Structure 1
Amino acid sequence: MLSRILSDTSLNYNRADTIIRKKQGLFKRIFNAKNDTLVSRSTAEQLNVKQMDAVYRNVEHVVTQNEKIFQRNLHHLRGKFLSLHQKERQLIQANYRLLNDLKNGIDNLKEREQSVVRNAQEQDLAVHKENAGRLERQLIAALCIMLLMIVFILFYQYNAAKYERKLQAEKEYAARVAEEKTSVLASVSHEVRAPINSLMGIIDILKKDGGKPTINREYLDSVAHEIAVINTSVNDILSLSKLEVGALAVKNEYFGPKRLLEDIVGMYVYQAKKKGIALEQEVNIDQRTEIYSSPFRLKQIVSNLVSNAIKYTQRGTVKLSAFIEGSGESATLIVKVKDTGIGIKPEHQKHIFRQYYMADNKLRSTGFGLGLYISKLLSEQLHGDISLVSTPRVGSTFTLTIPITDMREDTVRRKPYTLADLPKDLRLVLIDDNRINILYLKHYFKDFPNVYTFDSGESALKFMQSTSIDVVITDVLMPDINGWDVLKEARQNDRLKTAMIIAFTSDTMHVESVHNTDAGMAFDGVITKPLDEQQLVSLILSKMSRNIPTAAAGTPPAV
């Protein structure tokens, strides 16, 4: 616009001059001909003053308008700038919040990741610890197993060596027993034949002295001793096989150990006197005390111990001592047999209770190695034991210990029973196939009017079917009808159901056999041969006081 106003108010003068330039070469002139002449033009402009004022005013107006427009635009731009600045601030704040949220999110993610990592590490650590503990336990278990295996191997080697030595000892023992088989049989023959020959000699002496009114007491003691030797030898041989398999039952009852032990000592007084040694006793047990055990087994054991002590003692003493240790359920009967004999060497003591074992063959005169072996088995039947303390050339002490299951005090009986304690009207039937035993029983009960003797079970049963009987004493082993048959028939007969049936035998094995002890088929008592007065009377009175009534009138004729 300003250019237009100025052009309208100015006067222009134009002037032109021509200038010839110096000629150049031909070719330059041919190709650049215009450069030969130059025209100089100049323009002069002359302005109008009035128009210049108008122009200035217009220019000021334009400038003013432009300034206003600039101010408006500047204000507008400033508002826009402030708005943009505000929006920029908001955007920055939004970005800050976004960045803050993003940072918080990243921190949370990091924390969660760290928590997951920590949990994983803790779990891994726990698993590691558990695996380490398990490994430790497994290692300990492995070490223990290894130690146990080592101990087991050592134990096995020790036991193998021990059993090898034991087998070697058993082999030597078996060889020794095999070598002594002939001598054992000779000893058995000697143990039976020697007493029989002695009895025959005494009988011959009695025949020659038949005219004399009295019999020498020493003869009778010798007979009793030799018979006891035969009886012991035969009982040992017959009882051995059944004892080893436990076929012999133990019959327990109340009895006084003091009287039993004193009777055993009395049985061997003659044997000790014959050898010139002293037989002493010290039984510190009350006469009224009764224990619950097997008197028969106890008598067998102590008899063997006393007999051996006398047999192997050449001079000095043999002493039997006994006492009860403890009280109640813990009470124990202790019996000691001490001698001043040859003693037993230490290497023989561990074998002394073995079958057929002899400590020293050169020193023994009789026996065949069964007494102590059987005594050991019998003591085990009574849940007891036998121990030995011995010194060579000084003596030996055998100690028998038997537990007492029950004990009582007998306040009624003060003295031993005799046949006079039985009622005179007692009706007895005596059955035995041996005529000597019949004569012996007749003589034994000569003061009783109602005693009937039979040498067979058949004749006795026929008699008892029509007669009331109080007591039947029968042998067990008899031909045709034996003692068990008599017992069975008596139990089935109403007349004889209340009668007392007593077995009279020299071998209790047959009475104690398991297959003969059925319910209702047991004897009321068992007495051994020879007859023991105290045992018989005590048995009859105890049964009569319970359930054996005395028969009524009617006395049949004697047979």
Structure 2
Amino acid sequence: MIEKEINSRNRIRTILLVATVTLFLLITTIFFISINYFDAVHKRISNLIELTNYKDSTHENAVHYFLEAENQFRQYSLDLDLIYYKNYEHNLEKLHEKIQEIIALHKEDRLKNLNDQTTISRYNKYNEIDNTISKLRNLSALVDSVQEHIVSPSLTSPPTTKNLTIDVNKVIKTPQIQEKSVLSNFQKYTSPKVIDEEAINTYNQEIKDFSESQHDHFDKFKRSFESLRKSERELLSSHFTFLHSIYQNLAEINDFQAIKQKQLLQIEHEDLLIQSNKLTWLTIICLVFIFILIFIMIYYQFHNKYYEQQLIQEQQYAAKLASEKSDILAEISHEIRTPINSLIGIIDLLRKQSNIYSEKEQLFLDSAYSNISNTSRTINDILNLSKMDYSSVLHLEDFDIEDLANDIYLIHKSQAEIKNIDLELIIEEDTATIIHCDKLKIRQILTNLISNGIKYTMQGKVSCLIKINDLHNLYFKISDTGLGIPESMQSNIFKKYFTKNDENKLSNGIGLGLYITKRLVKQLQGSINFTSKEDFGSTFIIEIPIPKAKKKNKPALLYNSLAELPQEISWLLVDDNILNILYLKQYFKNFKNVKTASNGLEALEILKDYTPNIIITDINMPIMTGDELLEYIKQNPMLNEAKVIATSSDYEQIKELEVKRNTKFDNTIIKPFNEKDLVKVIFNTIKN
């Protein structure tokens, strides 16, 4: 059922994805097509604007020269000034050149558009204008001839008046002087002059002859002038007629151009409408596709919302299961690890009494200790794997890496001795060993790698080098002379549940050690690398960044065993497991004031009448847990001097409970532990 539902969801997602991609491609295609149509529309609009404002510059120039020529000729017709006529001829020549140029251009258009009557008619009109201009040019020669006759007529020179001058001396006669006296001299100046009538008559006859000859001359001139004026009027009339003809032809050409322009405007307008309609339909189609795409997105959103709600419910259910799993694992941790840790402690106590056992019995104890330790580590790996899936909290503290390495060395020494291999721990002398890091994670990393080295080594040795390198990083190098890792498997060794040989396992293991180790190194922001050669062993190198390490100022321990502590110290041991109580009581058998309780509530009843110096309590207990007991103790002013030490296999659980209760234990000891660990924790607790 679930598989069918998953397949159905996948099909829906696939269909929606394909539809979305298809619609997107269609919209994109339409968009680019629309851009092309938009460019076409823009081009048509530009053409319309150009056609609306279009002026044929060549034709306009021809019209300009015609108007100038006409104007100059009109001025000439009024004033008969040769300057106007010369300007007229000049403009007429320019007009002729432009018309010839236009004819040459329109000749090509006429050949290209044989079926276009407008083009043909316009071409013919220009030819008519050209012929008319030729006629005007011919008339201009006649006008020049008439003008010459008007300016210099070829008539007989008229009679002049140079022969009509009267000599006064001939007309007036001087009287005769008979006596020369004073009186006669006076009379000479005062007496009137005498006119010669014969001279006057001769002059009058000459005037009469001149008048008759002059009259004939003016009659001839008048007749010649009237003939020239008549010719001039005819020429002027012909000029005006031809000019009017040119004007009419130019006007008709303008009409042809207007018609042609209107036709082109109509064509461009129709094309513009077609392109606009296409663009409109493309826009509508695009909007429809966008609407469908939006509908798909909305549907997908509601579809997603539905499955999101289901996913939230599944997550809530998974969180509930995880919480229950965590509780179950915690219960398993308590039910399984507690007796195993107790057995480890008891066997460790028995091993220390080596003087009462034979060599064979001692070997049995060492073997039991090693196997139980391996079983404990496997359980820890499983539980740690579960916690690592949802927690990566670092608990940083200062600790001595040398002491930690020595503890791990002592734990694995017997395991190496059983297999008759050497276990070597190398720590550089005169080096800083106090580091600030997560102590439990470092312990687990070293434990996993050393344990793996021992597990897969049949002979030879396993060595562990620990130092602070030049980069101030914590450096581990764990080498073995064991089976090595085939090259084909090297890419898989950090995978979950991967082991060296699944068919013929050389030792117990479920393939979590290296997986967890890599996860822990990653959480510490470090790096892990390895080299390996089959049948020659493996070398793992780990570098973890840490603050600058400090050199330890090692004080002398006041106590090497619990027996050296003052006998008057009073103790309360709280644990629900009988083996743990028996194990702890072995350590405190020499003390007078030692009481035990199986849970927190029972411990509270004891504390009503008993005030111990140190309380060692387990965390996971029925009725009342260790953290609940701590909360009551911290609230009781009568117990302010009591030191409370927690025991547990899970350090992170203790820290979480401390945050939850908003209070702290005075110290913590992690199971399994030995007497040395217990002495160290108790000493540090008393010292603080």
Matched to 1:259, the amino acid is D
The corresponding residue for 1:250 is 394
Contact 1:258 1:285 in 2 (8 A): no
Residue 54 of structure 1: how far off its partner (Å): 6.0
Q: 2: CA distance between counterparts of 1:58 and 1:342? A: 183
> What pairs up with 1:156-195 in 2 under 5 angstroms?
none
Amino acid corresponding to residue 472 of structure 1 in structure 2? I
Secondary structure in 2 matching 1:407: coil
1:332 maps to which of 473, 477, 498 = 473
Superposed counterparts of 1:252-271, under 5 Å? 252-271=396-415
Write out aligned runs for 1:292-371 (5 A): 292-326=436-470, 330-362=471-503, 364-365=505-506, 366-371=508-513
How far apart, in 1, do the equivalents of 2:491 and 2:423 lie?
A: 27
2:192 and 2:622 map into 1 onto residues whose CA distance is: 182
CA distance 1:501–1:338, change in 2 (3 Å): same
Contact 1:465-1:495 at 8 Å conserved across structures: no
Contact 2:562 2:587 in 1 (8 A): no
Distance 1:482 1:372 in 2: 34
Say which of 396, 413, 428 aligns to 1:284.
Answer: 428
State the superposition RMSD in angstroms: 3.5
Q: Which amino acid aligns with 1:399?
A: I
Where in structure 2 are the equivalents of 1:523-538 lying within 5 Å? Answer: 523-538=665-680
Gaps (5+ residues) in structure 2? 1-164, 178-183, 194-335
Quickly say closer, same or farther: Cα 1:498–1:285, change in 2 above 3 A.
farther
Q: Which residue of 2 aligns with 1:445?
A: 588
Q: Which residue of 2 aligns with 1:457?
A: 600
* In 1, Cα distance between equivalents of 2:417 and 2:530: 25
Q: Structure 1 pair 227/382, CA: closer, same or farther in 2 (3 Å)?
A: same
- Aligned 1:67-78 pairs, distance under 5 A: none
Label 1:388 to 1:49 Cα distance change in 2 as closer, same or farther (>3 A): farther
Give, in whole Å, the separation in 2 of the partners of 1:417 and 1:58: 193
Distance in 2 between residues matched to 1:348 and 1:474, nearest whole Å: 46
Q: Which residue of 2 aligns with 1:482?
A: 625
Structure 1 residue 339: Cα displacement: 0.9
| Greater Cα offset, 421-430 or 216-225 | 421-430
Cα shift readout 1:73-124 (whole Å, capped 9, x = no counterpart): xxxxxxxxxxxxxxxxxxxxxxxxxxxxxxxxxxxxxxxxxxxxxxxxxxxx
TM-superposed deviation, 1:221: 0.7
Instruction: Report the CA distance between 1:517 and its aligned residue.
Output: 1.6
Q: Does 1:426 align with 2:580?
A: no
Counterparts of 1:26-425 in structure 2, within 5 Å, are 47-48=174-175, 214=357, 216-247=361-392, 249-286=393-430, 289-326=433-470, 330-362=471-503, 364-365=505-506, 366-414=508-556, 417-420=560-563, 422-425=565-568
| CA–CA separation in structure 1 for the residues paired with 2:192 and 2:454 | 177
Greater share of helix residues, 1 or 2? Answer: 2
Q: Distance in 1 between matches of 2:649 and 2:580?
A: 11
Q: CA deviation digits over 1:276-332, x for unaligned, max 9?
A: 322222222448842222332222111111111111122222111222213xxx522
The aligned residue for residue 544 of structure 1 is: 686
Q: Which moved more, 1:221-230 or 1:291-300?
A: 291-300
Check conservation: 2:482, 2:538, Cα contact below 8 A: yes
Shift of 1:230: 1.3
Closer, same or farther: CA 245–436 of 1 in aligned 2, 3 Å? same
SS at match of 1:222: helix
Instruction: Report the Cα distance in structure 2 between the residues aligned to 1:526 and 1:285, rounded to whole angstroms.
Output: 30
Secondary structure of 2:492's aligned partner? coil
Tell me how far apart the structure 1 counterparts of residues 548 and 593 of structure 2 sit (CA, whole Å).
38
Q: Distance in 2 between matches of 1:301 and 1:213?
A: 36
For the residues of structure 1 that align with 2:554 and 2:485, how far apart are their CA atoms?
45
Question: For the residues of structure 1 that align with 2:598 and 2:540, how far apart are their CA atoms?
Answer: 44
Q: Give 3-state SS (helix, strand or coil) of 2:634's partner.
A: helix
- CA displacement at 1:524 relative to structure 2: 2.1
Using the size of structure 2 for normalisation, the TM-score is: 0.47
User: In the alignment, is the contact (CA less than 8 A) between 1:285 and 1:322 conserved in 2?
Assistant: no
Question: Residues 390 and 460 of structure 1: is their aligned pair in 2 closer, same or farther, counting only changes over 3 Å?
Answer: same
| Residues 452 and 54 (structure 1), Cα distance of their counterparts in 2 relative to 1, 3 Å cut | farther
Change (3 A) 1:270 1:478: same
Change (3 A) 1:225 1:299: same
The amino acid of 2:468's aligned partner reads I
Q: How many residues are treated as equivalent by the alignment?
A: 357
Q: Secondary structure at the match of 2:612?
A: coil
CA distance, structure 2, for counterparts of residue 356 and residue 502 of structure 1: 36
Q: Would the aligned equivalents of 1:9 and 1:48 in 2 still touch at CA under 8 Å?
A: no
Mapped to 2, the partners of 1:423 and 1:292 lie a distance apart of 33
Partner of 1:129: none
The answer to which of 424-433 and 230-239 deviates more is: 424-433
Q: Which moved more, 1:530-539 or 1:303-312?
A: 530-539
Distance 1:381 1:427, change over 3 A: farther
Structure 2: distance between partners of 1:383 and 1:444? 40
Q: How big is each residue's C-alpha offset from its partner over 1:504-532, in whole Å with a ceiling of 9 and x where there is no partner?
A: 1123342243x642474222222122333
Structure 2 distance, partners of 1:58, 1:448, is: 202
- State the distance in 1 between where 2:673 and 2:440 align: 14
Structure 2: distance between partners of 1:545 and 1:482: 27
| Cα-to-partner distance string for 1:146-174 (whole Å, 9 max, x where unaligned) | xxxxxxxxxxxxxxxxxxxxxxxxxxxxx
Which segment drifts farther, 408-417 or 300-309? 408-417
Separation in 1, partners of 2:415, 2:554: 35
Q: Which runs of 5+ in 1 are unaligned?
A: 11-46, 60-191, 207-211, 547-559
Q: TM-score normalized by structure 1?
A: 0.57
SS of the residue 1:449 aligns to: coil
Q: Equivalent of 2:612, from 441, 444, 469?
A: 469
SS of structure 2 residue aligned to 1:367: coil
Q: Secondary structure at the match of 1:408?
A: coil
Identity in percent: 34
Q: 2 CA distance for matches of 1:286 and 1:535?
A: 25
CA distance in 2, matches of 1:252, 1:499: 26
CA 1:448–1:410: 2 relative to 1, 3 Å: farther
Shift of residue 343, structure 1, vs aligned partner: 1.4
> For residues 625 and 606 of structure 2, what CA distance do their matches in structure 1 show?
16
Deviation at 1:464, TM superposition (A): 1.4
- 8 A contact 1:244–1:377 mirrored in 2: no
Whole-angstrom distance in 1 between the partners of 2:566 and 2:192:
186
Amino acid at match of 2:550: R
The question of whether the paired residues in 2 share the 8 Å contact of 1:290 and 1:408 is answered with yes
Check whether the contact 1:339–1:395 (CA below 8 A) recurs between aligned residues. yes
One-letter code aligned to 1:238:
L
| CA gap 1:520/1:471 in 2 versus in 1, 3 angstroms | farther
**Structure 1 residue 537: deviation in Å?**
2.9
Which amino acid in the other structure matches residue 425 of structure 2? Q
